[in-house]
Amino acid sequence: MNLGLQGKLAVVSGSTAGIGFAIAAGLAAEGARIVINGRTQERVDAALTKLRLEYRGAEFTGVAADLGTAAGVEAFVKAVPTADVLVNNLGIFEIKPFLEIPDEDWQRFFDVNILSGVRLSRYYLPYMLKKNWGRILFISSESAQQIPVEMVHYGMTKTAQVAIANGIARSVAGTGVAVRAEGGVVQSIL
């Protein structure tokens, strides 16, 4: 498949394992230059080693930063000042009955699952608009529509991601920038 990403710089948040790692690998296979992210340098280095072995010739860099905080996003964008593709994959989840979810957990889920993508999108979107080309993808989940009773706080963040992506998409209509929320499928936006 040719998604037209040859040489494009793609940032994938939360990409040292799982879905984010797979997305980074898939984008690299399409010829994109990839920036992966994790909270610790050790995890970033381990993921980079694995990716570089599997995708020889692809260009990977990594930045360790806690994107669930404003300071972490600030450090990240200082290290990566531009991006053609932004995949907002960072997310946390936990199983906890609604009546046992304290305010601190609601805030933590909001900061990590929602504000990380909001902050990164707000930073990279002007660059994309100036070039009249860019892609922003929020990795959501079916939990956005079918809120899991054991993870209401997680489901709420996935619904918010869909709303944010739709709002940004409407604000850039008519430009070369596309914005969507998907449940793990990258090809539909790129």
Cβ burial of 127 (10 Å; 0-12, 13-18, 19+) is middle
**108: its two tokens:** 């933590």
Read off φ and ψ for residue 135, nearest 5 degrees.
Answer: -135, 130
What pLDDT was estimated at residue 186?
A: 45
Residues of the chain with pLDDT under 70: 184-190
- Kindly report the pTM of this predicted structure: 0.93
What pLDDT was estimated at residue 189?
A: 46
Question: N- to C-terminal Cα distance for the chain?
Answer: 11
What pLDDT was estimated at residue 22?
A: 96
What pLDDT was estimated at residue 117?
A: 98
Give catalytic status of residue 154 as yes or no. yes
| Catalytic option among 55, 124, 127, 154 | 154
Instruction: Indicate the fold that domain 1-89+116-140+159-175 takes in CATH.
Output: Rossmann fold (3.40.50)
What pLDDT was estimated at residue 182?
A: 86
- Give me the residue spans of the domains in the chain: 1-89+116-140+159-175
